Amino acid sequence: MLEEITLEFSYKYDSLRSMVLQLIFSALKLEPAAFQPYKDSNGPQRIVSIFSELLERQFPIQTTMQRMELRNPADFAGRLSVHINHLNAALKAVTGKTTSQLIATRIMQEARSLLQHTDWNISEIAWSLGFDDLPHFINFFKRNQQLTPKVYRKTAAV
């Protein structure tokens, strides 16, 4: 191809195009890659995989201006274009947990991390995790951790 481009031949670009097409067709004849993410999976497993990816894509929260967009099962069902009951059934069948449990577990994981590793105030953490009201976040945290965020932060620092 390098030789062809240096020639003073009126059809050199046609010749180069032909060579490129030959390369493309040779590449297409090669065996496709062995990795196929959903090769042996079924519908519920694909839904769980995409749900997990959507959930994890929202983390880590790195600034106080970043906020979770997808917070409840209906948000995820809408993004996945499936009925909320279908999403719940798929997640329950594959993971044994409900959609709300999976979301709450991941939010708690991020809340603990933010409380331990940032100096943000609790209302900033609550807002970043999608809570509009601070008392709602405190109740959520206490229900899942058996400690308030303030007490958790103090005990985690020790």
CATH of the domain at 147: 1.10.10.60
Whether residue 113 contacts residue 52, with contact meaning beta carbons closer than 8 Å, is answered with no
What's the mean pLDDT in 84-113?
Answer: 96
Q: What is the DSSP letter of 130?
A: T
* Average pLDDT of the chain to the nearest whole number: 90
Three-class SS state of 39: coil
In tens, the pLDDT along 117-157 reads: 999 999 999 999 999 999 999 999 999 999 999 999 999 87
The answer on pLDDT for 24 being more than 70 is yes
Domain membership flag for residue 89: yes
Domain membership flag for residue 122: yes
Domain range for 109 is 43-59+71-157
Burial 1-22 (b: 16+ CB within 10 A, else e): eeeeeeeeeeeeeeeeeeeeee
Domain membership flag for residue 31: no
Tally of domains in the chain: 1
Domain membership flag for residue 30: no
The answer on pLDDT for 85 being more than 90 is yes
Domain membership flag for residue 28: no
Whether residue 82 contacts residue 44, with contact meaning beta carbons closer than 8 Å, is answered with no
Give the pLDDT band (50/70/90) at residue 39: low
Whether residue 115 contacts residue 125, with contact meaning beta carbons closer than 8 Å, is answered with yes
Domain membership flag for residue 15: no
Domain membership flag for residue 17: no
What are the percentages of helix, strand and coil residues in the chain, rounded to 5? 65, 0, 35
